[in-house]
Amino acid sequence: MRNIIIDCDPGHDDAIALLVALANPEKLNVLAVTTIGGNQTIEKVTKNAKNILAYVNANVPLAIGQEGPLVKPLNTAPEAHGDTGMDGPYFKDNNYPIVSDNAVLYMYQTIMAQEGRVTLVGLGPLTNIALLLKTFPEVKSKIEMISIMGGGIRRGNMTATAEFNIYVDPEAAKIVFSSGVQVVMSGLDVTEKAYVTLDEIESLQNRGEVHTLVYELLKFYNESGKQFGFVDSPIHDLCAICYLLDPTMFTGKRYHVDVVTDDCMTRGMTIADRRLKPAQVENVLVLEDIDREAYVHSLFQALARLDNI
């Protein structure tokens, strides 16, 4: 069983990743959930995290992270996730507690309090994780790995070359990739293959409350994806969790990966050195393929557990 901290910007796919992690307590012990401004403002993504955790009666500490990137202004994604950041489902008011409004300090204290090492999961811009590594470098020896959804070594989605999470805070990503801590990157190369079809989405109806929640999330997300040319719905962030549940579901390769931070056409591009003899040691395991059937099975199995069916 692995101790993990999930840093996220819910976000439809962040929400599903949280649910699947919580549905596998024998493999993943979620020590904390932390939020980061990204898909929407920090207020909205934190409200969304509260709604998801309350919906499944989770008992996981929730801490509020940075409002925005280290250097650049925050770019949100209402066109993809709606004005709330998680449009679609309706949530009743709840009093899910916030344990800290300083996620970076809370992450540090939580990690250092563990006997063993902790795995970090980054599902949004990497601002909180970068600040943790820079502010408390001694924490690196206590981090097993950092499993992120971000980047792409062939194409972007925010721009032709940059994926959203990295584009929003490229300086943070550069800090994380060059930190010396093992990074597993679920970039668009693999996450765009990690999709659910409309039929699979429709099959979630009338099977329980959590099934219905995910149905409503994915119905909105599928409709929203059409503007970007998608027919099926890639659940990007879930890859970073599924890798921890079953890495055999994926294939990948280690590369040296660096990040473009300049304000130019390639801002946020994650560049993998694919030369026969790269100039620097490989620092990132880049996931490139997935067993989609196994991926979808992980999701459906998690929902069945959460709905006790």
Interface with Ca ion, residue 14, by CB under 5 A: yes
The interface with Ca ion within residues 123-142 (CB under 5 A) comprises 123-124
Task: Give the other-Cβ count within 10 Å of 71's Cβ.
Answer: 12
Chain centroid to Cα 66, Å, comes to: 16
The identity of residue 180, as a single letter, is G
The interface with Ca ion within residues 236-255 (CB under 5 A) comprises 237
Query: With respect to ligand RIB, which residue has the nearer C-beta, 152 or 252?
Result: 152
Among 4, 7, 11, 111, binds ligand RIB (CB under 6 A): 11
Query: With respect to ligand RIB, which residue has the nearer C-beta, 81 or 174?
Result: 81
Per CB under 5 A, the segment of 75-83, 87-95, 232-240, 279-287 that binds Ca ion is 232-240
Interface with Ca ion, residue 36, by CB under 5 A: no
Please give the biggest Cα pair distance in the chain. Answer: 56
Interface with ligand RIB, residue 189, by CB under 6 A: no
Instruction: Output the smallest distance, CB 165 to Ca ion, in A.
Output: 6
92-101: list long-range contacts, CB under 8 Å, 24+ apart: 94/50, 94/51, 94/54, 96/50, 96/51, 96/53, 96/54, 96/62, 97/62, 98/46, 98/50, 98/62, 98/63, 98/64, 99/32, 99/61, 99/62, 99/63, 100/61, 100/63, 100/64, 101/63, 101/64
Instruction: Output the smallest distance, CB 11 to ligand RIB, in A.
Output: 4
How far is Cα 300 from Cα 48, in angstroms, rounded to an integer?
A: 22
CB 196 within 8 A of CB 236: no
Interface with ligand RIB, residue 243, by CB under 6 A: no
Tell me what percent of the chain is helix, strand and coil, each rounded to the nearest 5. 40, 20, 40
Query: Please, which residues bridge with residue 289 across strands?
Result: 251
Interface with ligand RIB, residue 16, by CB under 6 A: no
Site string for ligand RIB, 145-184 (x = CB under 6 A): ----x-------x-----xxx-------------------
Catalytic residue list contains 236 = yes
Query: With respect to Ca ion, which residue has the nearer C-beta, 30 or 123?
Result: 123
Write out the DSSP string of 164-179: HHHHH-HHHHHHHHTS
Query: With respect to Ca ion, which residue has the nearer C-beta, 123 or 303?
Result: 123
Interface with Ca ion, residue 85, by CB under 5 A: no
Number of residues that bind Ca ion (CB under 5 A): 6
Tokens of 109: 């204290």
Instruction: Output the smallest distance, CB 251 to ligand RIB, in A.
Output: 20
Among 68, 88, 124, 252, binds ligand RIB (CB under 6 A): 124
Residues that bind Ca ion in the complex, under the rule CB under 5 A? 9, 11, 14, 123-124, 237
Q: Which residues are catalytic?
A: 236
